[in-house]
Amino acid sequence: MPGPLAGVRVIELPALGPVPFVGMLLADLGAEVIRVDRLDAATDPLSRLPVGPAGPLGRGRRSIAVDLKQAEGVAVVLDLAAGCDALIEGFRPGVAERLGVGPEPAQARNPRLVYGRMTGWGQSGALAPRAGHDITYLAVSGLLHGIGPADGPPTPPANYLGDFGGGAMVLATGLLAALLSARTTGHGQVVDAAMVDGAAYLATMVRALHSSGDWRDERASNIFDGGQPHYRCYRCSDGRFVAVGALEPKFWMTLLNALGLDPASTPSPYDPANHAELTDKLSAIFLTRTRDEWAERFEPLDACVAPVLTLAEAPQYRHNAERGSYVSSAGATVAAPVPRFDGAEPLPASPQPPALGADTDTLLAELGYPPGRIAGLRADQVVG
């Protein structure tokens, strides 16, 4: 069954991380994504990393290898843009313009084109021209300060929040909104997705709690950050952990009964004065069994308790296996495409990434380039 974005054509300019993630997401949803690879990508060690075009993030595309530093290479990309619905890029501000593939020339060729831009700091602001990474974007968004143990430094949450949550998912949402607008107005838009902005946007609920005095700026002292006994992780006898999220009273009561505690004589978790005592009490109980023993006990109960699984363990977990939540792509076990649609299997349209430049001749021919010109572009090392 064709994905819901069948018929949508997207150009993806060279990038790593969140931009390829957006390209993968759009391809998984049925869009035709044309990946523009650098001519020297095959010899670039970064391109061969799993986060590059050769890994799972590179699946589902066609690939054309182009030298964007040559005028004829830029012309190829603009010719592609003339027949596409969207373009995504992750250059630093001003680079696409210097190369000649910025929004102005691209939309001059195709006024309906949606031009998606991904940066860390945004297209404007004091830090716009500076380098950064997920950890630095989270640092100035206010999020990093609140993640980690109370008695230790802030803990970077891998690169889930900045690169992929605040970056890729926000850009994908903006692209889809702009594509809908272009269909009704006939005019494309430039979508500016900055990871520092997107990460901050994810914290809207927590900021609302902070503004009302219900969230403290100290780590591990709040309702969702491990600061309360009924919403935190506990170590088990085998050194592994269970996650407890028994926030509501009905779940708390179920938790107490499963742990063999009397609800009538157990202090309330809704009084901060009891937090230290309750944390110690629950910590001692969870240390009496292994993680998997606790998981088996709690699986049939509505107590909001689950085993903390490793990346290697998660695909084998019964619930995930029954849903087919993981697939194989480019030699890696990764999450299946989401969300799911009625009548369609949650499988990548093409689980393997294309070889770099594998579709160069085909795509040029589709643009109307005659064989002689294609051969000339190859000879001049404009395409490969």
pLDDT tens digits, 8-42: 999 999 998 899 999 999 999 999 999 999 988 76
Query: What pLDDT does residue 47 have?
Result: 64
Is residue 230 part of the annotated active site? The answer reads no
Residue 104 CB-half CA count within 13 A: 6
Alpha-carbon dihedral 85, 91, 95, 97, rounded to 10 degrees:
10
Q: Where are the domains of the chain?
A: 9-202+329-379, 231-316
pLDDT at 321 over 90: yes
Burial zone of 276 (CB within 10 Å; 0-12 exposed, 13-18 middle, 19+ buried): exposed
pLDDT at 347 over 90: no
Catalytic one of 44, 79, 133, 210: 133
Query: What pLDDT does residue 2 have?
Result: 82
Assigned token pair, 52: 């590059």
Inter-CA distances, 86 with 33, 172, 339, Å: 9, 11, 21
Is domain 231-316 given the CATH code 3.30.230.70 in the classification?
Answer: no
Instruction: Calculate mean pLDDT across residues 244-262.
Output: 97
pLDDT at 46 over 70: no
pLDDT tens digits, 129-145: 999 999 999 999 999 99
Is residue 133 part of the annotated active site? The answer reads yes
Provide the mean pLDDT of the chain.
Answer: 94
pLDDT at 53 over 80: no
pLDDT at 48 over 90: no
Separation between Cα atoms, residue 232 and residue 125, nearest integer Å: 38
pLDDT band at 54 (very low <50, low <70, confident <90, very high): confident
Separation between Cα atoms, residue 296 and residue 235, nearest integer Å: 16
* Chain center to CA of 61: 18
Instruction: Calculate mean pLDDT across residues 46-62.
Output: 79
Catalytic one of 28, 67, 163, 197: 163
Query: What pLDDT does residue 301 have?
Result: 98
Assigned token pair, 229: 């006994």
pLDDT tens digits, 173-201: 999 999 999 999 999 999 999 999 999 99
Topology (CATH level 3) of domain 9-202+329-379: Rossmann fold (3.40.50)
Specify whether the CB–CB gap between 88 and 35 falls below 8 A. no
pLDDT at 49 over 80: no
